[in-house]
A and B are shown apart, each in its own frame.
Chain A
Amino acid sequence: MNEDAQTYENAVERLEEIIARLDSGQAGLRETLDLCAEGKRLIEFAAGELDSVGKGLEELRLDDLVARLDPANAQEKPETA
């Protein structure tokens, strides 16, 4: 795991801050445009994360992964459910 990478929870937290700032009515035009652009990027990222765990359950066996990493068994395919 990369500790510095964007995470879903960080994206959601920042998105909530942005919406709160826009709701306050204190943001000027330039700030509003910047916040909207940032919010759009965050939503796209978060939606991508949700999509990655929403398409369908994929089950792998550790034994198969270990065997696949073994050069002697490199031709075997992982079993998926």
Chain B
Amino acid sequence: MSEPVAGTEAQGIPGYPGPFEVGRYAKELQRRLRGFTQVALLGEVVNFKAGRGANVYFELRDADGAVPCAMWRNDFDRLGDAGSDLRDGAQVIVAGGCDYYPGGASASPSFSFRVKTMRPAGEGDLLARLERLRRLLASEGLFERQKKLRRPALPRRIGVVTGEGSAARKDFLAGLERLGWRGQIVWGYAPVQDRRAAPAIGAALRDLAAYGEVDAIVVTRGGGSIADLWAFCDEALCRTVALLPVPVVSAVGHEVDRTLIDDVAAVSCSTPTHAAAAVVRVDVGAERAGMLAAAARLHTRGRGTVVEQARALIARSRAPREHLRRHRRDLHQASKELRATTRKAVGEERERQRRRAGTVLPRKREAALAAVGTERGALARRAARLDARARDGLAVRRKAAMRQAASLRALDPDRTLERGYALALGPDGELLDDAAAVTAAREFELRMSGGTVPARVRDSGT
């Protein structure tokens, strides 16, 4: 593509190479696209057209995009029985590369992925893809939103998305009947196994939620392989479920593999029957019986309490009256006893006083008089004894005084002086009781019978 059309340089557009002849450009485009690396693609077959021409055509799709595919009839025929897997809704793996038909003067150009060979997608392929989707939705928090919604235990109105005339529909109804639930069901019928299934189920879910009067929605179908149930792993459908404001119960029959809708739903069940029990969480018949029992208990307990309280009140109102009556009776009896006792005591006292006045008092008077006489005699005797003792004592004391006077007289120094003795007395009248004291005094007095004589010590020459 290095050579523009000869002689047309002046007719180009500034900033863009060319112009080039379109046929040449188309062939160059074909060459370059065919040079892309050959790869294998996984997707769902849509709009399969075998026809009788040299090619068979179909599209390969998933939630994020699509590629138009073409396969030479020779290559298609070589598939043998496997060719029958190329049908709408089938999950397949195709191998090939990009191709471009450049068209011509009277033929339209077209791009296609030239399929050399293909095979049905195995469970491993689908499960790997499912796991990638699961991680993606989980990372966005889409598994938790439905689980946070409140699910009423006894919904009045249930929306159900399932195949019309399906066994799942019948099983779900049987489950509700066993629970005695006979409310309102809104059926959102949709295909449950082909390329139309996921969009139709998603639309039914949105319509049910928009209706605004269903308390819960059930999505259900019978069992199958993961390929059969692939619509329930559709990313767009699962995002719709996750964001729905009404709780969704999924019951997509499967034994081993878990579909993606099970992860995003509020509750997932394995069978339509289980879904009935998950969406209606009470046995209506049993609840009705339980409610009757509760009403009876309430009545019994309420009445019992009222009667009991009334009895207690009556008993309380009666108690003071009984109490007063009993006390009045006791008081009356006590009063009677007191009066009787008083009368008896007064009579006895009176009798005792009378007896005392008649006998005891005279006796006591005589005894007192006798005692006075006795006491008087004793006093007279005591006085006589005191007189005698006084006389005796006076005589004794007189004799003793006479003896003491005699003793005093005998001891009197004047009596000694009378017998010729003298006392030597110092200048101050002190007794000089030996010769040394007299000698020392030099001058002294001699006291002797009849008077005092001054005296002096004569020098003796010694």
The residues of A with any CB-CB pair to B shorter than 8 Å are 1, 3, 7-9, 12, 15-16, 18-19, 22-23, 25, 27-29, 32-33, 35-36, 39-40, 43, 46-47, 49-50, 52-63, 65-66
Contact = CB atoms under 8 A, between A and B. Distances in A.
A22 B305 contact: yes
B74 to A, nearest CB: 46
Contacts of B416: none
Contacts, number: 118
B282 interface: yes
B80 interface: no
B189 A52 contact: no
Contacts of A47: 288, 291
Ranked 8 nearest A-B pairs via Cβ: A53-B183, A36-B302, A22-B301, A62-B188, A8-B154, A9-B153, A32-B305, A29-B309
B186 A43 contact: no
Interface of B: 150, 152-156, 159, 173, 176, 180-189, 204, 207-208, 211, 215, 246, 280, 282, 284, 287-288, 291, 294-295, 297-299, 301-302, 305-306, 309
Contact of B152 (A8, A18, A32, A35): A8
A65 B211 contact: yes
Contacts of B294: 15-16, 19, 39, 43
Given A29-B305, A53-B181, A36 B298 contact: yes
A1 to B, nearest CB: 6
B295 A43 contact: yes
A71 to B, nearest CB: 16
Nearest to A30: B309
Nearest to B164: A61
A46 to B, nearest CB: 6
Given A18-B298, A66-B207, A61 B154 contact: no
Contacts of A52: 156, 183
B298 A22 contact: yes
Contact of B186 (A15, A22, A57, A61): A61
A48 to B, nearest CB: 10
Contacts of A49: 154, 156
B288 to A, nearest CB: 5
A62 B187 contact: yes
Contacts of A23: 297, 301
Contacts of A1: 150, 152, 215, 246
Contacts of A65: 186, 207, 211
